Structure formats: structure tokens, C-alpha cells
């Protein structure tokens, strides 16, 4: 199969790309960091094909992706995304909010819009979106990040509705706390100590766990659609509802 993985320069996307190449598939891997993509190509060989662009820039995204044969893509993994900040909404940075919307929502929509007509035309294909538990459960400081992942969830559901009668599958994978990626380093803008503290003494999910889920979803026969899959480390669970007293 030919797989397009956005955000293949680190974390989940890199592991997903590695695992698809290891099982004999061809991966088009995207990201902004050309050096990372080139290093992966050196390591993985000709079945890893770098496509370098900023997914927040819709013109650049269209220009880069229309250079490849989109009709040949069997699986799209919409993984590129980020959280910025963990402040309550009234103290959050407006630019951070716009960036999360640009990458997590607009970027994912731009890539999907490019790929989907090709999948429908050939009556086959799988779209795997990387959402988050943050799209299902509110938490302190998740404000726009969580809302962007709620968008991914409902967009996935609505694609399923539109694809009635077509052999194109859509899955939303919703990971909880996952370490060993750059997610928290990005969220805390390079404060690596703060990022490391998130994972202290926690048996967190790994990029391999998420890649395993992606590989499984993609390997199922065409008539099986996993609508959504929420994964958490056993050590993570739901917060109760919170009450402020004396206000």
C-alpha cells in the first residue's frame, strides 16, 4: 500500500512511518523539518518519500501534495498536530490558539480535501485521523487544543456520514497521555524540564502503542470500519466534576 503520513518527523508519525515501511509499504512522510525527513529517507530507503511543507499554509500544502500521485494513496494518516500552552483560556496566548486551529483543524481539512476525491473515485481508501482524549474529555488548560480535537472527532463522524455506500473508511484514534514524543516539549515551548515532569513515574502510552493501533486499523478487511478508538495508559483515568466552594 501507499501511505501518506503527516507529521512524520517525530513522535507518532515517525513510528507509524517506520512500521509501515518495515511491513513492506511505501510511505510519503511530511513535516516542516527537511533534515529530519532526509535522515529518515537515508535510514529507511526508497520506500520512504519525504514531502516537506508547513501544513498550516494551505497554498504550500496544495503545492507540495499535488506534486505526488494522490490517486495512488491508499491510507492517509492525518497525524500532524500540536498543543501550545496549558494556561486557562483567559490567560492563553491568542497566537497559540490561531496556530492550533491552523494546524490541527485547517491543515487536516486541507489534506483530507485533496485526498478524498481520489479515494472516492477508486472506491477504496482509509483515512486515519489522530484525535485525542482531549476531544472527548475537558481538562484544565486544554481550551482550544481540546476543541480542535473535538473538531477532528466530529469531522471524522461526518465523513463517515457522507461516505455512505463508498468503500472508504474513516477512523479517529484518540490517544491519552503518551510520552517519548515532542508533544510536551512543543506545548511548553522548549521548557524540557516542565515537559519531562508530565511523564515522571507514569507508565505512559508510547508512539509504538499508537502505531500498533494505526497498523491494526489499516490492516482490517475493507468491510470493517473502526469509527473511533480511545486509548489511555492504565495509569490515566477520568477526573471527577469539580466544584468551587465559597465563590
Q: Which residues participate in catalysis according to the annotation? A: 145
7 binds ligand NAP (CB under 6 A): yes
Interface pick for ligand NAP out of 1, 25, 26, 32 (rule CB under 6 A): 32
31 binds ligand NAP (CB under 6 A): yes
State the nearest-atom distance from the C-beta of 195 to ligand NAP, in Å: 10
- The nearer residue to ligand NAP, 33 or 113, going by C-beta atoms, is 33
Interaction residues for ligand NAP, span 177-206 (CB under 6 A):
177-178, 181-183, 186
Q: Could you tell me the CA-to-CA distances from 10 to 43, 117, 221 in Å, in that order?
A: 14, 28, 29
Q: In which region does residue 201 sit, left (phi positive, over 0), alpha (psi from -120 to 50) or beta (all else)?
A: left
Phi, psi of 97 (to 5 degrees): -60, -45
- The nearer residue to ligand NAP, 82 or 109, going by C-beta atoms, is 82
Nearest to 149 by CA among 137, 135, 168, 166: 135
2 binds ligand NAP (CB under 6 A): no
State the nearest-atom distance from the C-beta of 222 to ligand NAP, in Å: 26
4 binds ligand NAP (CB under 6 A): no
Query: In 150-243, which ranges are E strands?
Result: 168-175, 228-231
Place of cell 524540557: 192
112 binds ligand NAP (CB under 6 A): no
What is the DSSP code string of 219-233?
HS-TT----EEEE--
230 binds ligand NAP (CB under 6 A): no
Interface pick for ligand NAP out of 11, 85, 125, 233 (rule CB under 6 A): 11
Give 30's contacts (C-beta < 8 A, 6+ positions apart): 4, 5, 6, 7, 8, 37, 50, 51, 52, 53, 55, 64, 80
CA–CA distance, 172 with 99 (Å, rounded to integer): 21
State the nearest-atom distance from the C-beta of 7 to ligand NAP, in Å: 3
Residues touching ligand NAP: how many (CB under 6 A)?
28
Interface pick for ligand NAP out of 110, 132, 156, 211 (rule CB under 6 A): 132
Give 217's contacts (C-beta < 8 A, 6+ positions apart): 126, 128, 171, 173, 226, 229
Stretch that binds ligand NAP, among 88-96, 172-180, 214-222, 235-243 (CB under 6 A): 172-180
Interaction residues for ligand NAP, span 52-91 (CB under 6 A):
54-56, 79-82
CA–CA distance, 15 with 52 (Å, rounded to integer): 18
5 binds ligand NAP (CB under 6 A): no
The residues binding ligand NAP (CB under 6 A) are 7-13, 31-33, 36, 54-56, 79-82, 103, 130, 132, 175, 177-178, 181-183, 186
Amino acid at each position: 500500500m501507499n501511505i501518506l503520513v503527516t507529521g512524520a518527523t517525530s513522535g507518532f508519525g515517525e513510528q507509524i512511518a517506520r512500521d509501515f515501511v518495515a511491513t513492506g509499504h511505501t510511505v510519503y512522510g511530511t513535516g516542516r523539518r527537511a533534515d529530519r525527513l532526509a535522515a529518515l529517507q537515508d535510514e529507511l530507503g526508497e520506500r520512504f518519500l519525504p514531502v516537506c511543507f508547513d501544513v498550516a499554509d494551505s497554498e504550500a500544502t496544495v503545492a507540495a501534495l499535488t506534486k505526488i500521485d494522490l490517486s495512488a494513496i491508499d491510507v492517509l494518516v492525518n497525524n500532524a498536530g500540536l498543543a501550545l500552552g496549558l494556561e486557562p483560556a483567559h490567560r492563553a496566548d491568542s497566537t497559540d490558539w490561531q496556530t492550533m486551529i491552523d494546524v490541527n483543524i485547517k491543515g487536516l481539512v486541507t489534506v483530507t480535501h485533496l485526498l478524498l476525491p481520489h479515494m472516492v473515485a477508486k472506491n477504496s481508501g482509509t483515512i486515519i485521523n489522530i484525535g485525542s482524549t482531549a476531544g472527548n474529555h475537558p481538562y484544565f488548560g486544554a481550551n482550544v487544543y481540546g476543541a480542535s480535537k473535538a473538531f477532528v472527532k466530529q469531522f471524522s463522524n461526518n465523513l463517515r456520514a457522507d461516505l455512505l455506500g463508498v468503500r472508504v473508511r474513516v477512523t479517529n484514534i484518540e490517544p491519552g497521555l503518551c510520552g517519548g514524543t515532542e508533544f510536551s516539549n512543543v506545548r511548553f515551548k522548549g521548557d524540557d524540564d516542565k515537559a519531562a515532569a508530565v511523564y515522571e513515574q507514569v507508565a505512559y502510552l508510547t508512539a509504538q502503542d499508537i502505531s500498533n493501533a494505526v497498523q491494526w486499523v489499516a490492516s482490517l478487511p475493507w468491510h470493517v470500519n473502526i469509527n473511533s478508538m480511545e486509548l489511555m495508559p492504565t495509569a490515566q483515568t477520568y477526573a471527577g466534576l469539580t466544584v468551587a466552594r465559597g465563590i
